[in-house]
Chains A and B, each alone.
Chain A
Amino acid sequence: MSQRRTKKHGKSFEERDATPDALKVLAAEFPKGGPRQFRRRDFLKAAGFSVGAAFATACSRAPVQRAVPLLTQPEEIVPGRSLFYASTCGGCSAGCGVLAKVRDGRPIKLEGNLEHPVSRGGLCATGQASILGLYDSERLQRPWKDGKVTSWVEADREITAELQTIGRDHGAVRFLSGTVTSPTTLAAIRDFLKGFSDARHVIYEPLSNSAVLDAHQKAHGVRVLPRLRFDRAEVIVSFDADFLGTWISPVEYTADYRAGRNLEAKRVSYHVQLEPRMSVTGSKADQRFAVAPGELGLLLTHLAQRIAHKAGVPFAAGEVDTPSLKVAVLDDLAERLWQARGRSLVVCGTNEVQQQALTNYVNHLLGNYGSTLDLEAPSRQVQGSDRELEMLLGELRSGVVRALFIHGVNPVFDLPGGEELRSTLRKVPLLVSFAQRMDETASVASYVLPEPHYLETWTDGEAVTGVVSLSQPAVHRLGKTRSLLETIAAWSGKLKPAYDIVRESWKANIFPRQKKEPDFEAFWERTLHDGYAEVAAAAIRSQPFAAHSVQPILHAQGLDANSFGLVLYSSVAMLDGRNAYNAWLHELPDPITKVTWDNCVSLAPSAAQRLGISDGDVLRVETTAAAIELPACIQPGQHDQTLAVALGYGSRLSARFANVGPQWIDARLSVGDKGVVGANAAPFLSLRDGGLHYGTAVVRLRRTGKQRQLACTQTHNTLTVPNKLAPKGSGPRPVLEETTLAAYLQDPHSGVEDHAEKEDLWPTDHPYLGPRWGMVIDQNACTGCSSCVIACQVENNIPVVGRDEIRRNREMHWLRIDRYYSETASGQIEVAYEPLMCQQCENAPCETVCPVLATVHSEDGLNQQVYNRCIGTRYCANNCPYKARRFNWFNYAHDDQLQNLVLNPDVAVRSRGVMEKCTFCVQRIQEAKIEAKRRGEKVSDGAVETACQQSCPAHAISFGDLNDPNSQASQMMANPRRYRVLEELNVRPAVGYLTVVRNRAQEGMEGSIEEHHG
C-alpha cells in the first residue's frame, strides 16, 4: 500500500513534468475544484424527485390492455398455427363444403373441402370472397327498429306482442325467403308459421329457376330439381344455361364437367352451347351458337322433334318455324344425343316453363333420367316459386298481409317494380327483415334483426338430398346478432342457442336417416369433423313422365330488323346483388368482359358497328318497363340482336365504395353518377304468368352522348396483333396453344410443336439439389371462373385499388386470367383462358436488373421478392416478359381495423413504393417445410397447395416438386400437351400449361352456322 502511494502516476510526461504549457492545457480541460462529489443529501434529493415524478405521471391511468390468458387453455390452439374447421359455405344456396382456416381465433381464409361430395374441394369466387363479409364494418351489429338501434329484448317483446294480436285476429303472416337448404331452419320456420291460421312460407330466388321445378311438377309430379350429373354425360347440350358460371351450383357442375372432360382419363364429353350472349359456359363449349334469345324455345322444339322421331314417339309439333340454325347442325346434334342416350344431358337455363318442359321431354326420350338426371336424390339448391311470389305480391298490394318476414332476399332491389314495392312494403304493419346489412328492403322494414355471418353461427344444410352438412361457427360473434333459429326460438318462448337447436333437430331427424354410426354423439362428432354426412334420401314419389306436359313452341319470338332483345344475366361477381358489399368482387374482372366496378350493356361488334357505338359510350336502354343508362361494352360472340346487362349492380350497399382506393388530385370516384356501382337492371325483369322473365324486347336504344371509360383489365383481346401492324407471315402469337381432339388423338403433342425443347448451350450453373417448385395449369380444364383470383387475393393480402386505378391499369391481382378471343373460319368466336401469375423463371429477367438485390432466386426455384429491400425502380416489372409484377403505386388503405382482421398474418402487407408478385404462396411452402422438418420427413407431394390451386373447382392447377419425378406436378409437366409460355426467351419458367383441346374432328367442322340470323 505504502509502496503504491510513493508511486507517481501521470497521464502524460507533460503532466508529470508539469511544464507550464501542459498545465495551461490541463487547466482548460478540467474545471477547478476537482471532480464533483455526489453527496448523500444530493442523492436523496434526486431520488425523491425521480420517485415523485414517477408518481405524478402515474396518476393518470393508462388504458387497460387486457391480455388475459384463457382460463383453460384449449389443447389444440397454438398461437401462430392455423386450425381448420369443416363447415358449409353460405355464399349461396349451392352448399359447398368449406374448411375455415382459423388463425389465433379468427377465420382468415376459406378452403374448399376436398372430401365434400358436392363441391369436391373447389370454391367459387363468391365463396372465397364471402369471408370479407364477416369483417364488414357496415354489417349490422344489433337489432334496429325504424332506423334506430334497439335491444333484442325490446324487439322480441314488441314483435311477440304484435304477433299475438295478429294470431288472435287470424291475420295473414308471410315468411319470404330465398332458398333455404337447412332442414333445421326450414322446420323452424314451418313450426313458427304453424302458430298462425293464415301463414305461408314463400320462397323465391332473384335468379329464378322456378320454371325448372314447375316443369318437373308437371311432368313428374314432384316439384324438384334433379341432381344434374355432368360427369356422367358424354354429350352436353346447354340452352343458355351458364352452369359453369353462375347457374344453380357452378362449383359442383364444374367439378363434374371437368371429370367428364379429362383427356388423361380418356374421357372427353362433347359440349354444345346455344346462347344469346357469351357466357363462361359458352366459352368452354366445343360448339357454340349465338342464337337470338327468343329462338331458344323453337330450337328446343326442333331438337325434341328429331329425338322423338328417332325414338319413334309421336310428337305433334305441327307447323314449326324454320330455325336460324342450319338443319344439318340440328340433325347432327340430335344424332349425337341419340347415340349417347342415357349418357347425355340437355339443360336449359331460361326461366320459361314451356322450354323447361321441352328440355325434360328430350332428356326423358334420351333416357337420361336416372343417369345424368337424378330424381331419386334430387338437388335442393333451388326451391323458389315465382307463382307464390306473384301471389304474395298481390296480397301485399291488397294490404291483407299483417306480418311479413324477409330473410335472405332483397325484393325491393332484386324484383321488378322495386319502387312500388317499397311503398307497398311500408304499409305492412309488421315488416321484419333478417338482413345482415341495411339493404334496400331492410331500410323500409319496421324491424331489422340482423343474422350473424355464417361463420359465426350454427346451422346445417342439405343442398343435395342425402348429403347433409353442418355449418359451425369459426369465431365468436362480432356483434350482437342472432341467428334466425334463435330468433324464432325466442319468439316461441324457448330461447335456446342455435347449437342446441341444430343438435336436437339432427338427433331427431338426421341421425335416424343413417345406419353407419349407432351412437348419435359419434355421428355428430364425425359429421362435425368431416363437415358433412351422407344419409338416406327421403323417397321421392315421382310419376312416370307425363308427355302431355310438353307443348311445342312453334314460333320464335321474332325481332324486327334493327331491334334488340334484352337479356338479363347474373355476373360471376355480383350474382343477384348479394355481393354488392364486397370490394373484392367488385374489383374482380368479369371472366369474359374483363370489366370491373361496373355493369354495362354488351352488344355484338356487328351491332355496334352498325350503330356507330364504341366501348364506353353511355347508352340509354328503354323497354316498356324501365330505362337505364349504362356504358356500352362490345362483346364478340354475342348474338347480333341481343343486348345483355348484368343484374346485381346498382345496390345501395355499393355506395360505400365512392372513395375506395388512393385519393389524390386526379383520383376519380369508384361509383357512377348515382353514387352506386353500376345500375340496377332488375326493373327490366317482369313477373307475370307465374314466372320471372329475364328477357324482354328493347323499345329504344340510343346513345346519350356521354362517355364512361370502362375499368377493364385487358384492352387487347386477341393473340393476333392488329392487321396494320402485323409483320408478314406472322400468325397468332404462340403464347396460348389450342388443338382439336382429332389432332390430339393423332398426336398428343399437337399444338405444342413450336415449343419443342431445345438443347441448352449453357451448363446448369445452379442445380436445384432439393425440391424445385413448379406448377402446371390445364387450360383445357380452366373455365375462367376466377375463383383462383379471389383465393389469391385473400391469401396474399392483396389490396383493393378502386375503379380509377383499374382504369389506369394498376390492378394488384397477382394472378390474372388472360382471356383471348379467336375467330374461326366461319366467324364463330371462341374463347380461351390463360391464368397468369409469376412464372418463377429459372433465368429470371427481373433478378438481374434489380440494383438492390430485392428480387433473388431461392434454392428451391422460387423467384423471391424482398419487400423490405425494394426501392421501387420498377425495372424488374419492365423486364418481365409476362408483366406478372405489381407495383404499389400508393399506400393502399388499411384503415378499416375490422376489415384488417381478414389479413393473413403470414403475409406482409406491402407499403407504398415496393414491387410485389406471386410467390407460389411461399408462406404455405414454408409451413409445410417446417412441419416436414419437425417430423423429420421430406415434404410430401401434395403437402403444399397454393391458394389458387386449392380453390380451383376444375382442379386445373397442379403444384409440387419438379425434382420429384413422381409428384403430380412432375407428371403433369411430362404431359405431351405441356408447353411453356414464352419459353423461346430461355427464361425457363417454372409454370407449364396444357393445351386447350376442343372436341372436334377438325378445324372446319364448326363452320356450320353460316346463316345464323343477321
Chain B
Amino acid sequence: MAEAAIALRPPLIEGNKSIAQVTHDVCAPMEARPTVLWWAALLVSFSLLVLGAVAIAYQVAVGVGTWGLNRTVGWAFDITNFVFWIGIGHAGTLISAILFLFRQRWRTSVNRAAEAMTIFAVMCAGIFPVIHTGRPWFAYWMFPYPNTRGSLWVNFRSPLVWDFFAISTYFTVSAMFWFVGLLPDLATIRDRATATWRRQLAGVLSLGWNGSYRAWQRYEVVYLMLAGLGTPLVISVHTIVSWDFATAVLPGWHATIFPPYFVAGAIFSGMAMVLTLMIIARRLMHLQQYITLRHIDRMCKLVITTSGIVGLAYGTEFFTALYSGSSYEQFVFLNRALGPLFWGYWTMVGCNVFVPQLLWFRRVRANVPAVFLICVLVNVGMWFERFIIIVTSLSRDFLPANWFHYAPTRVEVATLLGSFGLFFTLFLLFCRFVPVIAVAEVKGVLNIGKPGQEAAHE
C-alpha cells in the first residue's frame, strides 16, 4: 500500500539526493565567492536603495510637499506602497505557518525564502507609515508608551494605531519564526565553516544547537507553536490594514468586504512575489531540483485561487454600490472604471483577474518564463489595486468642488524604487549569507529510508 503511494507520488526533491548532497547543494553557493551576476544584481538593487534613501532624506528635510499630494488626495504612493509591501509579506506567513499546519510538505523547499521575503517586505512596508507623516521625527507618538505629557495616550479608536499593533506583532512573530527555523541550518553552517569568524558568528546565532534528540524535540514544539501564532496573523494583519479604509466614511473605502478582499489580495500578491523570487533563485543558484516544477505548479494554483477571490471582490464591490442606492457610492465605482484613472483600473483588472486565468492551463504552469511574466504582472496589478482604491476614492468624493487629480512627483517615484532597492538588496544578502532552502526540513522530505527507495541510494 505504502509502496504504491510512493510510486504514484513523484518525489518532492528531484535528483535522488543523498543527505550530504542536500547540505552541500545548499551551502556551497554561500561558501564560494559570489558570482558576477550576484554582484551585478546587488549593484542595481543597492543603487535603487541609495536613490530611495536620498529621496526620503530630501523629503524628510523639506516636507511632505515634495510628494504630489494635495488637500483632496492626502495619501497616494505612500500608503499604496505600504499596503503593497505588507501584502507581499503574507505569502511567506501562509507558506510557513498555514501550510505547515496543513502538513503540506512541499513547502519545505520554499518556506525559508518566503519567510525571508516576508520580513524584508514588512521592513519595506514599515518605512512608509513613518515617512508619510508630516513630522516623522514624532512618528513614535503612535506608540502607546508611558510618557510625561500628562500621560497622553494614543487613540485606540484609530485604525492607524491598530496598524501599529498589527504590524509590530507581525514583524516580531515572522522574525522569530524565521530565526527558530534557521537554528539547525545555522548549526550546519557553523560545523562546515572554515573561517573562524564564520564559525563563531554561526555558533552564537545557532544558540548552541547540538542536534540532540532533546534539541530537536523542543525545536519541533516551538516551531509548531509559532506556526499556530503565525496563522491568525495571516488573516489579522491585512484585515486590520483594510480597516484603515473600511472604517472611513469615504465612498469606495467604506466597505465591509474589505477584510477578506484584502487578505485574499495579499496572499495573491505574496504568492506571485514568492514565485517571482523563487524562479530567479532556482535559476541563479541552480536549485531546480529543490524548487521543482511541482512547486511552481502548486503555487500557481494558489495564485489562480486567490485571483478568483480578488476578481469576485471586484465584482461584489460594484454590486454593493448598486445595491446601496447611494449615488456617491455608485459614482465612485463608475469613476474607477470610466473616470480619469480608468487605465489604472483596467490595468488592475487585467493583471489581477484576466492574466492569471492563463494558469488554468497545465502547459502554462509548466512554462517557467510564462509563470514569471504572469507573476510580475500580478504584482503590477496588485500595486495598482491599492493605488486605485486610495486615489480614485479620495480624488472625487462627496463635494464636487473638492475634486482634484493626483500625479506623483519624482521624489515619490524614487521612494517607491528605493523600497524595491531595499527589498532586493536584503534578499540578495540573504541569498549570500543564509541557506535559501531549509536544509534540515528538506532532508525530512527526501525519500531516504522509506520503503522501496534504498535501491536508489545503494
Contacts and interface: CB of A to CB of B under 8 A. Distances in A.
Interface string A731-758: 0010100000000000000000000000
Interface in B214-268: 244, 247-250
B338 A725 contact: yes
Contact of B66 (A665, A809, A985): A665
A35 to B, nearest CB: 36
Contact of A808 (B70, B132, B411): B70
B126 to A, nearest CB: 15
Given A849-B160, A879-B250, A913-B134, A666 B409 contact: yes
Contacts of A733: 327-328, 398-400
Nearest to B135: A913
B335 interface: yes
Interface string A696-730: 00000000000000000011111111101111001
Interface stretch (B151-159, B199-207, B291-299): B151-159
Nearest to B328: A733
Contact of B410 (A665, A816, A819): A665
A852 interface: yes
Contacts of A666: 66, 409-410
B72 A869 contact: no
Contacts, number: 192
Interface in B399-444: 399-405, 409-411
Contacts of A915: 134
A981 B152 CA distance: 34
A985 to B, nearest CB: 6
A722 B335 CA distance: 9
B142 interface: yes
State the main secondary structure of chain A at its contact with B: loop
Contact of B64 (A715, A805, A872): A872
B386 to A, nearest CB: 14
B72 A879 contact: no
Contact of B401 (A730, A820, A849): A820
Interface string A951-995: 000000000000000000000000000000110010100000000
A374 to B, nearest CB: 40
A1007 B230 CA distance: 69
Contacts of A850: 155, 158, 160
Contact of B74 (A664, A853, A870, A877): A877
B111 interface: no
A886 interface: yes
Given A725-B338, A871-B138, A849 B394 contact: no
A interface residue count range (under 10 / 10 to 19 / 20 to 34 / 35 or more):
35 or more
Contact of A874 (B134, B398, B409): B134
Interface in A216-262: none
Interface in B146-205: 152-155, 157-161, 164
A326 interface: no
B161 A851 contact: yes
A184 B138 CA distance: 60
A848 interface: yes
A980 B129 CA distance: 35
Contacts of B394: 878
Given A662-B65, A882-B398, A725 B335 contact: yes
Interface in B97-148: 129, 132-135, 138-139, 141-142
A912 B160 contact: no
A306 interface: no
A877 B394 CA distance: 10
Nearest to B329: A727
Interface in A815-841: 816, 818-820, 834, 836
Contact of A883 (B72, B157, B159, B339): B72
A818 B192 CA distance: 73
B69 interface: yes
A889 interface: yes
B62 interface: yes
Nearest 3 Cβ contacts at the A-B interface: A872-B134, A913-B134, A889-B65
Interface of A: 662, 664-666, 714-722, 724-727, 730, 733, 735, 805, 808-811, 816, 818-820, 834, 836, 845, 848-853, 869-875, 877-879, 881-883, 885-891, 912-915, 981-982, 985, 987
Interface of B: 58, 62-66, 68-72, 74-75, 129, 132-135, 138-139, 141-142, 152-155, 157-161, 164, 244, 247-250, 327-328, 330-331, 334-335, 338-339, 394, 396-405, 409-411
25 contacts: A662-B62, A662-B63, A665-B58, A721-B335, A725-B338, A725-B339, A726-B334, A735-B399, A809-B70, A809-B71, A809-B72, A809-B404, A818-B399, A819-B401, A849-B247, A850-B160, A851-B154, A852-B155, A871-B134, A871-B139, A881-B399, A887-B71, A889-B69, A912-B63, A987-B249
